[in-house]
A and B are shown apart, each in its own frame.
Chain A
């Protein structure tokens, strides 16, 4: 649904060059909720703004719903100077009107009522007055704000404002919704309700959602797929459930951090991920009994990720990795995902070189 190929964006200011995007290939399937995470400055915002060409990429292509937007932007214009809002031809404007976008700071017009804000994109599309009103009220109903139609944005709470933002983004019947940190200015409670709304819209309308966020919780709650960005590159991407099943996955680790440091030298620390059926077996006690070893649990968590029950646990086995090959093999046989953790501050023991072997 959304595909970017080798997308690059370089900002030039006062002779300095800053590479915000460095060859990003993104592939968002139709009907899925795709989350891009990363720290601030990783290029997430630039990426999402390149998808509807609010930001012109320096090179590479963007296509949404099979339409090559970069081609619509016109040749030769290349990249306007940094920070420019840029001008857009009518073909690109038309394509944009079929891509909804919600913003971190809502960006509602304070001079218009809620209803008029939702009508704005319809005005731009040239929809007649009566039809606009009907559609706007219908959308407000959909986001649960029908009673606020006549209020001004200043009279709404943050969560209500974002609902208006979402209603407005849906006015042009888009197939794709871009969400630029839509929940980052909201409290946890409101964040949950907004995410739930996005999920409902995704399911009811078949809306494809591309969202960027720095909150792992957002990905955990609604994303089908996710990508991790760092320094303008996508370092990891895939379906959330698959990522969790990928040994050594950074995203999985971020999504599901398990802490705990080993109690001493000559210990093997192992991260276990339970998914599906494996989550119900008494694996740890079996391991302990079968091999007659003492197991300490350093940290553990259980959560629902992408609708699946997932558990993660960090355990400690006595002895070095070499001595624990057999118990670890046993854990694998039980259908668990086993990662031998690299503990950076573990004194003496340096499992890093073994990690790769152990993980594979």
Chain B
């Protein structure tokens, strides 16, 4: 197989993967966020303590999470048809991907939001804040870096799941690697696919980490060296972020003269 033959296949597969993962990740975040927050709020000691709701939601999340994705995809076929009108193609894969990722993200959200200091909730309540205020002004902003990290993890997991989407004819990089690389012995194509997946995942992980760090104002040490380098000297003027030793020496050469502690 020559490159000119492979190229359109790879391009199509890339777009299919991005399409499926993009939409399902979006739906997972939109669906998983409230679910995760609900799990925290209704838990013992929560603002809306309600053990019945908590146990029921928790159980549903557990069952959905323990389901192998390939089974979920088959099991949801009739549901998928009702939603998108078809059971094959990328659209048909988005539905089970999203359904599988919602509980996944919800659990991660739950863990992240639980980390928020209860004292902050109390402080806002003492100011006369309602439950909604607590969620909007405390729980979500304070856990934002962790929520972004969780979303990154979810997206990476979704890329993994999407490899199975070939089962319903959805295409994508995983499907390409199986059909050409494995079934047709096009080893070269398979390795290219693997390389592309590795690059895509690295980029997503890097972007996610960067965003999470950039939003975290928790501790002095949380400002990562590479972030300081990317920001350059000028944008640091407002926020004196103490630079870790190693990064500082690198920065002296690259950035314009700034005060390095």
Select A54's contact among B122, B130, B138, B240, beta carbons within 8 Å.
Answer: B122
- Chain B residues 138 to 162 lying within 8 A of chain A, measured CB to CB, are 138, 141-142, 144
- Asked if A154 and B219 make an inter-chain contact with CB atoms under 8 angstroms apart, the answer reads yes
- Asked if B120 and A107 make an inter-chain contact with CB atoms under 8 angstroms apart, the answer reads yes
- Chain B residues 102 to 153 lying within 8 A of chain A, measured CB to CB, are 117-131, 133, 137-138, 141-142, 144
- Asked if B125 and A88 make an inter-chain contact with CB atoms under 8 angstroms apart, the answer reads yes
A94 at the interface (CB under 8 A from B): yes
User: What bracket does the count of chain A residues touching chain B fall in?
Assistant: 35 or more
- Chain B residues 212 to 229 lying within 8 A of chain A, measured CB to CB, are 215, 217-220
A234 at the interface (CB under 8 A from B): no
Q: Which of B47, B123, B218 has the most CB of A within 10 A?
A: B123
For B138, list chain A residues within 8 Å (CB): 109
- Asked if A93 and B142 make an inter-chain contact with CB atoms under 8 angstroms apart, the answer reads no
- Asked if B128 and A93 make an inter-chain contact with CB atoms under 8 angstroms apart, the answer reads yes
B48 at the interface (CB under 8 A from A): yes
User: Known contacts being A80-B49, A81-B49, A112-B141, is A54 close to B126, with CB within 8 Å?
Assistant: yes
Q: Give per-residue flags for B164-199: 1 if the beta carbon is below 8 A from chain A beta carbons, else 0.
A: 000000000000000000000000000000000000
CB distance from A307 to the nearest CB of B (A): 30
- Asked if A93 and B45 make an inter-chain contact with CB atoms under 8 angstroms apart, the answer reads no
In the complex, A108 Cα to B219 Cα: how many Å? 13
User: Known contacts being A81-B49, A110-B218, A154-B220, is A52 close to B126, with CB within 8 Å?
Assistant: yes
For B239, list chain A residues within 8 Å (CB): 150, 152
- Asked if B220 and A107 make an inter-chain contact with CB atoms under 8 angstroms apart, the answer reads no
In the complex, A85 Cα to B215 Cα: how many Å? 28
Select A125's contact among B124, B126, B128, beta carbons within 8 Å.
Answer: B128
For A108, list chain B residues within 8 Å (CB): 120
For B118, list chain A residues within 8 Å (CB): 85
B46 at the interface (CB under 8 A from A): yes
A282 at the interface (CB under 8 A from B): no
- Asked if B220 and A124 make an inter-chain contact with CB atoms under 8 angstroms apart, the answer reads no
User: Known contacts being A97-B128, A112-B141, A124-B124, is A155 close to B240, with CB within 8 Å?
Assistant: yes
- Asked if A110 and B217 make an inter-chain contact with CB atoms under 8 angstroms apart, the answer reads yes
For B142, list chain A residues within 8 Å (CB): 109-111
